[in-house]
Structure 1
């Protein structure tokens, strides 16, 4: 009687290399070593750093012209008043000054805008007002609401729009000093009644 060879256990599949199904399963299952060797993707690189945007180029700087500063300084200087010369002898200078004042009032000048100065003997109006005392006399000067008469040598500092200078006497130095005072007091117009030893410097 012929004896056949049996499997070593029940329910155990055959591992015969000739079985095509078993050979295919063995080749398709990955080994643990191959899985561990697969590299993982690293962190993504961030966006590139932004370079600063250059601003607009600076414009050209303006340099002031050499004469600009000088012109601004000249503009800030006080302007000299207009000058009118009315020839007259010393003894007639006061009358000539009175005529000039009357003409100024007739053409619309306010009385408080006019100051009359003398180089020698005071005007009769001044002599009259000073007879009531110096305080009352100078109070009218401060009020500035009427024509005021004073000696050029001792007139208080103040400006009037129009100054009338009566050259009614005095030597060359006195007249020159009176002219300087009249120029300093006049705002827009200086009228000189009489003869001046030297031309008035403007």
Structure 2
């Protein structure tokens, strides 16, 4: 989904809404940010690290994390928020996001930086 870094977060939120409206379960969706954390991640972390990570295991809601986070982050659908610059940083995050996606990866922003990594991938036309 084309967007500049300042718009990527908003585009990702719209994408998550569309995924949920189309019938995806919230527990199937993982949102990863390349730059600043998603506000919902910051909110959830305010309750403590243990509670935050328990939500990943419970898989009842959309989970938000930093794209550089290690560990067992995997969901059927991954939405990558490219809200930072740096071709190498974006490309690395895109590769990790693709590895974490079971069936669908949506990249919001930075699409030119990652296009060569996924030849043949559908690239939507901007609305």
Fold in common (TM above 0.5): yes
CA distance in 2 between counterparts of 1:114 and 1:160 reads 6
**Is residue 92 of structure 2 the alignment partner of residue 172 of structure 1?**
no
Normalised to the residue count of structure 2, the TM-score between the two structures is 0.87
Higher helix proportion: 2
Say which one has the larger Rg.
Answer: 1
Flag the 1:155–1:144 CA change in 2: closer, same or farther, 3 A. farther
Task: Report if aligned partners of 1:112, 1:144 keep a CA contact under 8 Å in 2.
Answer: yes
Deviations 1:41-82 (A, max 9, x none): xxxxxxxxxxxxxxxxxxxxxxxxxxxxxxxxxxxxxxxxxx
Q: 1:198 to 1:185 in 2, by over 3 A?
A: closer
- Establish whether residue 114 from structure 1 lines up as the match of residue 47 from structure 2: no
Runs of 4+ with deviation above 6 angstroms: none
Alignment equivalent of 2:18, drawn from 103, 114, 119: 103
Q: Is residue 152 from structure 1 mapped to residue 64 from structure 2 by the alignment? A: no
User: Structure 1 stretches of 5 or more lacking a match?
Assistant: 1-85
Aligned partners of 1:179 and 1:200 also within 8 Å: no
Deviations 1:104-131 (A, max 9, x none): 0101000000000000000000001111
User: How many residues end up aligned between the 2 structures?
Assistant: 117
Q: Is the 8 A contact 2:41 2:64 kept in 1?
A: yes
Label 1:200 to 1:118 Cα distance change in 2 as closer, same or farther (>3 A): farther
Q: Which residues of 2 match residues 1-202 of structure 1 at below 5 A?
A: 86-196=1-111, 197-202=113-118
CA contact (8 A) 1:111 1:146 kept: yes
| RMSD of Structure 2 on Structure 1 (CA) | 1.2
> RCO greater where, 1 or 2, for CA within 8 Å and sep 6 or more?
2
